[in-house]
Structure 1
Amino acid sequence: MRLLRHFALLLALLSPLAGAETARFQIETILFRQGEPIIAGQTAPDDWANGAPTKASDSFSAKHLNDEASKLTPANGYQVLLHQAWQQTLSETPVKVALSEGAEQFGHFPVQGTLRLKFDRLIDMQADLWVNRLEDGHPLESEHLQQKRRLKPGELTFIDNTSLGLLIRVTPLQ
């Protein structure tokens, strides 16, 4: 009986840890070019989304990084390529979402890629983004940003990758 009591106490202490790591977040990204394009050695693959779902239109939300985006002007040597904000539930199970900007041509977009997020106190982020010059609907040349990073919730993070940069903020919602 005594062993059962200790086991029940242990379960009571550990159970909040197992289910507490699921939360709703506001995710906002700004992908921008800094300087002249540096072309990747390969073009974006045809399966660039790799099965990742696109965001539902009702998940898009107000953008809060407009001041930061307004500073990324051609006069300052920058060009904003994608600026999106949405709400999403994150947990210890990784979630991958497809991002795109511009008109689709035969399954490709001028800006396309995936963002993989996992929440466990910090947020594990993996970005795989392509900026394409399309010809007849197929990528002729591509720039590529591929980075992994641990993010602090609510903190704006800058990711530098040759000619492309990414600003990302993942903010918990109350």
Structure 2
Amino acid sequence: MRAFRHFTLLLCLLAPSAFADALYQIEVIVFRQAGQPVVASQPAPDDWALGAQPISASERPVALTEVADKLNPGSGYQVLLHKGWTQSLGAVPSKAALSIGNEQFGHYPVEGAIGLTLLERLVDIDANIWVNQFDADGLLTGSEHMKQRTRLKNGELTYLDHGSLGMLVKIQPL
């Protein structure tokens, strides 16, 4: 009985660290196949970030520059966004807000939120990205929308396909 109590105490002391959040390096490349953008009739919503935290404070240099360089117009692609950042991941989903370009009335040329949830050695990703078109006055006229959910392995470069848009994602522990 006494050994059981010591074992229970040991489990209580170790269990919180097993479920604690861990710091990860995340890198995302959003690109388009060559050709005309496929503009949807529905522009991005004004609340496109949906409570996600901006990555500006945790942005890091990107490591996948060689991969991004291969996605050039000569190869039939155009890189729209390439960002790297650190983020604490755990069992509770956390969201990061990404954007690039000049803000026009609360929208960016490329904007979106990426939700991440850590599941042992795997990470669930919920990507919600808009590639926006603006008129001469800076008003949002239409958007391409990429919405993907999948499970990633730590340290693996993963390709997400969505019509004329694609995304490469790499997530690894620090």
Same fold (TM over 0.5): yes
**Following TM superposition, by how much is the alpha carbon of 1:38 offset from its aligned partner in structure 2, in angstroms?**
2.0
8-17 vs 40-49, which moves further: 8-17
Q: How many residues align?
A: 170
Written as runs of structure 1 = structure 2, the 5 A alignment for 1:74-89 is: 74-89=73-88
Deviations 1:117-146 (A, max 9, x none): 111211010000000001233321111110
Partner Cα distance (1:56, 1:167) in 2: 20
1:44-68 per-residue CA deviation (whole Å, 9 max, x = no partner) reads 01111112121133x1112110010
Supply the distance in 1 between the matched residues of 2:13 and 2:119 (Cα, whole angstroms). Answer: 15
Q: Bigger CA drift: 164-173 or 8-17?
A: 8-17
Gaps spanning 5+ residues in structure 2: where? Answer: none
**Structure 1 partner of 2:30:** 31
Aligned equivalents of 2:46 and 2:130: distance in 1?
12
Q: Would you say the 8 A contact 1:108–1:137 is kept in 2?
A: no
> SS in structure 1 opposite 2:11?
helix
Task: Please report the TM-score for the alignment, with normalisation by the length of structure 1.
Answer: 0.90
Percent identical pairs in the alignment equals 46
Can you give the 5+ residue segments of structure 1 that lack an aligned partner in the other structure? none
Letter in 1 for 2:79: V
Partners of 1:123 and 1:133 in 2: CA distance: 31
CA contact (8 A) 1:96 1:114 kept: yes
Tell me which residue corresponds to 1:6: 4
Partner of 1:146: 147
Cα distance per residue 1:31-89 (max 9 Å; x no partner): 000133222342101111112121133x1112110010000001111000000001111
Q: Is 1:168 aligned with 2:169? A: yes
SS at match of 2:54: coil
The within-5 A match list for 1:61-72 is: 61-72=60-71
When normalised by structure 2's length, the TM-score is 0.90
Determine helix, strand or coil for the equivalent of 2:67: helix
Aligned to 2:112: 113
| Paired residue secondary structure (1:19) | helix
**AA partner of residue 162 (structure 1):** G
Moved more, 149-158 or 19-28: 19-28
Distance, in Å, in 1 between the alignment partners of 2:129 and 2:4 is 50
Aligned to 1:137, what secondary structure does the other structure show? coil
